[in-house]
Amino acid sequence: MKRKFLVALIFILASCKDAKKPETIPKLSESKSNDIADIDRQYPGKKILEDECYICHSPKVSQEHMIGPPMAAIKLHYIDSNTTKEQFAEALLHWINDPEQAGKIPGAHKRFGSMPYMPKPDTMIRQVADYLYDNDVERPEWFDKNFEARYIKGNGQGMGMGLFKEWTAPDSEATYAKTGLEYAKATQGALGKNLVKAIQQNGTVGAIRFCNDKAIKLTDSMSVMHNAIIKRVTDKPRNPNNLANAEELGYINAFKELVSAEVVVEPIVKNENGEVYFYYPITTNTMCLQCHGKPNDQIPPAVIAALKSLYPNDKAIGYDVNEVRGMWSIVFEDADE
């Protein structure tokens, strides 16, 4: 029997476990100027933040598609009333130059893994720190509600431990849904970080070459790591190996209807002959449109040329944000069998 389960993914954004919990959400520092052009002139780090950092930490990305914590979360964990601008800049420098360390958000490090090492001049990082310290940053629309639910009400676990709410349902089916989601998130994180690194090094065209050569291999390696079959399937494939089968196409169409109706989307889990089948949609965000958006609008000519060269039968274009581009299809053994 097919059953659906709600996946509640909630960021736990907590301060140090010994710190006193505030009665209201901490307000980020105010901008020195309300004039955007004036801020752009005064803070060159703003453009660096938007062009470089928001690839992974964008406030426009939904919770399920984050591949790193939002900048608002980073600022809340790195800056308090006693932190000077110089102290913040030094902490940011230390973290970026040694991304293997957990820094002040070990929960995010545990969930997303270490940030790819991307060497940047210290002056550039200090400019970003300067802007972040002096100015408010945009928060994702889900941020305040989840922060309040987990932090102000005393449910935080300190220092951002456990970025996602734990499942509390005791039944095995909820455990299957949680396990499937963990496999999907781990694989998405591995793909996302490598994709970002390719973009940083060689632009969007380099990212296309990475996907062409490495994406399925990396997904297969995650399958081996988790002793599962992990696939990304779609009704509009770029790589024909990602084409969904008849049953998967039915689930994709169902997810499209749910997303279009703007209702909460739950994973589909079923258990057959000792194997668990997990399905969950993959939806588009702004970053996706660089390669999957509308040609000559979101997709520039050089990228179109690369796509035609590597994927002559490409169907994975023409998307807008928050559309179902495909689905996670994961199979793993029932541990109770």
pLDDT tens digits, one per residue of 45-92? 888 888 778 877 878 777 766 777 888 888 888 888 888 999 988 888
Closest CA to 214 of 324, 112, 117, 310: 310
The count of other CB atoms within 10 Å of the CB of residue 293 is 19
DSSP-derived 3-state class of residue 194: helix
pLDDT band per the 50, 70, 90 thresholds, residue 28: very low
Spatial separation of the C-alpha atoms in residues 84 and 3, rounded to whole Å: 52
Closest CA to 332 of 267, 280, 279, 277: 277
Q: Which helix (H) or strand (E) holds 27?
A: none
pTM over cut 0.85: no
- Interacting residues of 32 by C-beta distance below 8 A, sequence separation 6+: 39, 42, 134, 135
Structure confidence by residue, pLDDT tens digits, 257-314: 988 888 878 899 998 888 999 999 999 887 788 899 999 888 999 999 999 999 999 9
Q: Is 30 a residue whose pLDDT tops 60?
A: no
DSSP-derived 3-state class of residue 184: helix
Average pLDDT, the chain: 77
For the chain, the 3-state helix, strand and coil shares in percent, each to the nearest 5, are 50, 10, 40
pLDDT band per the 50, 70, 90 thresholds, residue 110: low
The count of other CB atoms within 10 Å of the CB of residue 142 is 15
As beta bridge partners, residue 277 has: 270, 331
As beta bridge partners, residue 4 has: 268
DSSP-derived 3-state class of residue 118: coil
pLDDT for 36 equals 63
- Interacting residues of 319 by C-beta distance below 8 A, sequence separation 6+: 284, 288, 289, 292, 293, 325
